[in-house]
Amino acid sequence: MPELVLAILDTAGEDLLRDYAKEASTPADVLRRFAEHTSASVRFAVASRSATPSDVLKILALDSAPNIRAAAARIQGMPVSSLVNLVADADNAVRKAVAGNVSMPPELLMRLAVDDVADVVAAVAANASATGPVLTKIVNDQLARRAGRPARPAYSTERDTFPLEPLISAGGNSNTPDEALTVLVNSVAGVFARSSSPRDERRLAEEARVWAAVARNEKASPDVLEAVARSAHRELWMKGDPDRVPRDLEGSRERILTDIVDNSGSRVGTLEFLSDGEWVARRTTTRSERDDGHTTTWTIWDGSATAAAKADMARKVRREISRRSWQREDSQADRIGFATNPDAAPEILDELANDPADAVRRAVAENRSTPPAAFARLAADAERLVRIAAAGSSHPDSAIREHERSGYTREPREVAYRDGFESLAQDVDPEVRTAVASNAGAFWVALSEPARSRMAFDEHPSVRAAVLTSISELDHVFGGLEISAAALQHMIQTGGPETWRTLAARYGELPIAILEQLASAGDIETTLLVAKDYYTKGDLLVRLARSTDRDVVEAVAARPRFGEQRDLNDAVGNALVRNPHAPEIFLRQVAYGGTKDEDMIKLAISHPNFPESMLIGLAKGTDQRWIMAAAASRNPQALAAVAANDQASAEALAYVATYGGHEAREALLLNKNTPPELLLRLIEQNSRG
C-alpha cells in the first residue's frame, strides 16, 4: 500500500524500503521520495531498477554518491539533459557506465570516444548503439595516441602498457566500418613489424587480442577476415621447449583462426587456406622423474595428440566449406557428390537422406558422417539397396577421441547409431541382416548383446555364417565374448568343425560350459584348442589329460602352472603321469621336484617316455630313492647302471638281480659291494640256467 509506505517512510527499516524500491509495481511518487531518501542503499536500490520514471532518473543523476550516479547512468530512458551532465561527470566509473548506455545519442558517444580514460572509451566502443563515425573516431584516435608516445629505447625490457581494450571493443563491434577494421588489423601487423624484438612472444599474444575481436565480428567483411586469417597464420607462432615459451601464443592463433572458420562472413577461399589444419596449437604432455627423493616434472610436445587435433580441425574446416558451398540443385550428380563427401555438413546429409533419388539416399547411407537420426530413417527406407548400404556403413570416432581413449574410455561414436542398426538386424531381407552381421563396427559396438545373440539364431545360413566370420575377426576381448551362452550352444549344435574351431580359438572368452560342449564335439583340432584355453579347468581338464590323442595330452601338459614350486600332484597331474602319451618334459618336472608323492615319482620315472639318459644318471647317483626308482623302471640300461653302482643299496641290487638281464648280472658280479648272499644267488641261477 503506497500510502502506508509514505506514512512510515521516515521510520521504516532500510531492508523494507530497499525491497519495496525494487518492486516493479512501486508507484512513481514513492520512487521519487526514495530517490531523495537519506539512506544511500535505498537510493541505490532505486538506481538499480531496469525501468524508472524520467523525473526520478534526473534526481538520481545528480546524486552525491558516484556509485548511485553510475547505476542510474546505465538505465535506458535517462533524459538527454541528464546524460549531458553524466558525460561530463568527474568520476571515471560514472562516465564508463553512461558510455555503455544504448540510449546514448551519437553526439555524446562521440564526446566520450576521445575520453582520456581507456575504460570509458572501451565502453563506448562496445556500445551496440555506437555509430560508424564514432567507432572510426575511436580507432583513429587510439592509434594516433599510440603513435604519439615517445619511442622506447631498443634495449628497453619494459612491457608495452598501452591499453588495447578500446581497440579490442571496436574490433568486435558489428557497427565498426570495414575501413576502420582494415586500419585496425593492419595496425597490429605494423606493431609487429616495428617491434625492436620481433619475437617478443608475450607482446604478440597481447596484440593478437585485437585480431581475435575482429575474427568474432559477424559483420566484418570477407576481405577483413581474410587479412586477419593470413596475418595470424603468419605471425602467431613460436619455437623452443614448451616449458620455456608462452604456449598461449599458438593457442591464440588457434582460437583466432577457429573463430574465422565459424564466422559466417568468411569466404570459402579463406577456409580453403585454413583447410589443412596445420595451424592448430601443438599439444603437450607432462613427464616426471623421481631421483634421490625429488620429483622433477617437465612438459614436452605430444606429437600424436597434435596430429589428432590437426586431423579433426582439418575435417571441421572441410565440413564448413561444404556447408558454404551447398546449394539445393536438381542435378543428381551434384547431390551424390555431397552425399558421398565424408566432410559434408550434418544438415546437408540430413536433407539428402530424404532425397527422392535412391542413389542419393544410398550414398548418404554409406557416408560415415551421416547423423544418427538421418541414419535411423535410412535404416527403415523402402528401397532394399539403401538398407543394405546402411547395414554395411561405419561411423568411426574422430581422431582426437581415438587419442583420448588411450587414457580415458568413452562410448564409441558407433553406439549413437544403435537404433538404426538394431532395426536393420531384424530386417525382412536376409541380405540386409547378413550385411549387419558382417559389419564389425555395427555388430560388436552398435548392436546390444541381445541383438547379437538373436542373430546367432537367424534362420538364414548366410547370416549365421557372417556372425561366425565377425567372431573370428574380432580382436581379443577381456571379460568374455559378448554373446549369450544359449546363442553359442546353438551355434555349436547347428555348426560343424569350422564353427567349433572358430569358437574354440577365442582363448579366455568362453564360459566353461561352452568349452565342455566344444571338447565333446568330436573334432580333435577343436579339442586341442580347448586344451590350450586358460579357462579350461576342473573335471574338463582332467578328462583332456586322459585323452588318447598325443597332441591334446601335450597341450594339457604344456599349460602354464603359476609358481615354480606348485605341486603337480593334483587330479590333472595324476591323469597325465598315467597317460602313455605324457610328454617327456612333464615327466621330468614330476621327477625333479614337481611333487613329493613317491608313487607319482615312480610312475613318472617308469613311464615309457621318461628319457633313458636321465634314468641312467639316476641309477649312477648316490640318492637311494632315485637309484631304487631307476631300477623300478626295469629299463635294461638303467638296471645295468644300478648293478654297477657301488653306492646302490642291497635292496636295489637285489631288485636288479631279480629283474635285470645278462648285462646287469655281470655288473653285479663285478660290483665290490654286492652282498655274498646275492652272489650265491647269482651263482645258483647261473648253474641252473
Say which CATH number the domain at 73 has: 1.25.10.10
- Work out the pLDDT band at 23, boundaries 50, 70, 90: confident
Q: Which residue has the cell 555438413?
A: 345
Percent of the chain residues past pLDDT 90, beyond the cut = 55
Residue 195 has pLDDT above 90, yes or no: no
Window from 78-87, 344-353, 509-518, 667-676 with minimum mean pLDDT: 667-676
Q: What does DSSP say about strands 284-291 and 294-301: parallel, antiparallel, or unpaired?
A: antiparallel
Window from 51-60, 194-203, 245-254 with minimum mean pLDDT: 194-203
Q: Determine, yes or no, domain membership for 51.
A: yes
Higher per-residue pLDDT: 41 or 452: 452
Residues 145/257/405/346 CA torsion (nearest 10 deg)? 140
pLDDT at 51: 82
Q: Determine, yes or no, domain membership for 664.
A: yes
pLDDT at 402: 65
Enclosing domain of residue 662: 611-689
Of 62, 84, 104, which one is at a domain's C-terminal end? 104
Q: Determine, yes or no, domain membership for 1.
A: yes
- Work out the pLDDT band at 154, boundaries 50, 70, 90: low
pLDDT at 193: 64
pLDDT at 565: 42
Of 41, 76, 104, which one is at a domain's C-terminal end? 104
pLDDT tens sequence across 322-369: 998 887 656 888 899 999 999 999 999 999 999 999 999 999 999 999
Of 79, 104, 129, which one is at a domain's C-terminal end? 104
pLDDT at 102: 93
Higher per-residue pLDDT: 35 or 119: 119
Total of domains in the chain:
2
Residue 86 has pLDDT above 90, yes or no: yes
Residue 389 has pLDDT above 60, yes or no: yes
- Work out the pLDDT band at 564, boundaries 50, 70, 90: very low
pLDDT at 372: 96
Q: Determine, yes or no, domain membership for 550.
A: no
Residue 223 has pLDDT above 60, yes or no: yes
Closest C-alpha among 447, 441, 443 to residue 464: 443
- Work out the pLDDT band at 194, boundaries 50, 70, 90: low
- Work out the pLDDT band at 594, boundaries 50, 70, 90: low
Residue 400 has pLDDT above 90, yes or no: no
Q: Determine, yes or no, domain membership for 385.
A: no
pLDDT at 5: 63
Residues 128-138 have a mean pLDDT of 96
pLDDT at 490: 95
Residue 405 has pLDDT above 80, yes or no: no
pLDDT tens sequence across 518-541: 999 999 999 999 999 988 988 999
Residue 397 has pLDDT above 90, yes or no: no
Q: Determine, yes or no, domain membership for 668.
A: yes
Higher per-residue pLDDT: 391 or 593: 391
Residue 635 has pLDDT above 90, yes or no: no
Task: Determine whether 499 is exposed, middle or buried from the number of CB atoms within 10 Å of its CB (0-12, 13-18, 19+).
Answer: buried
Report the C-alpha gap between 626 and 158 in whole angstroms: 91
pLDDT at 606: 83
Within 10 A of 612 (CB to CB), how many other CB atoms are there? 12
Residues 431-440 have a mean pLDDT of 96
The whole-chain average pLDDT of the chain stands at: 88
Residues 380-398 have a mean pLDDT of 95
Q: What are residue 297's DSSP bridge partners?
A: 288
**Region for 26 from its dihedrals, namely left if φ exceeds 0, alpha if ψ lies in -120 to 50, beta otherwise:** beta
pLDDT at 411: 84
Model-level pTM greater than 0.75? no
Residues 613-637 have a mean pLDDT of 85
φ/ψ (deg, to 5) at 284: -125, 165
Residue 197 has pLDDT above 60, yes or no: no
Q: Determine, yes or no, domain membership for 501.
A: no
Helix residue spans in 245-394 (DSSP H): 248-262, 268-273, 303-325, 332-339, 346-352, 358-366, 372-379, 384-391
- Work out the pLDDT band at 16, boundaries 50, 70, 90: confident
Residue 155 has pLDDT above 60, yes or no: no
pLDDT at 563: 39
Q: Determine, yes or no, domain membership for 372.
A: no
Report the C-alpha gap between 587 and 601 in whole angstroms: 8
Packed helices 524-532 and 550-557: angle between N→C axes, nearest 10 degrees: 10
Cell reading at 228: 586477419
Residue 196 has pLDDT above 60, yes or no: no
Total residue count of the chain as it appears in this document? 689
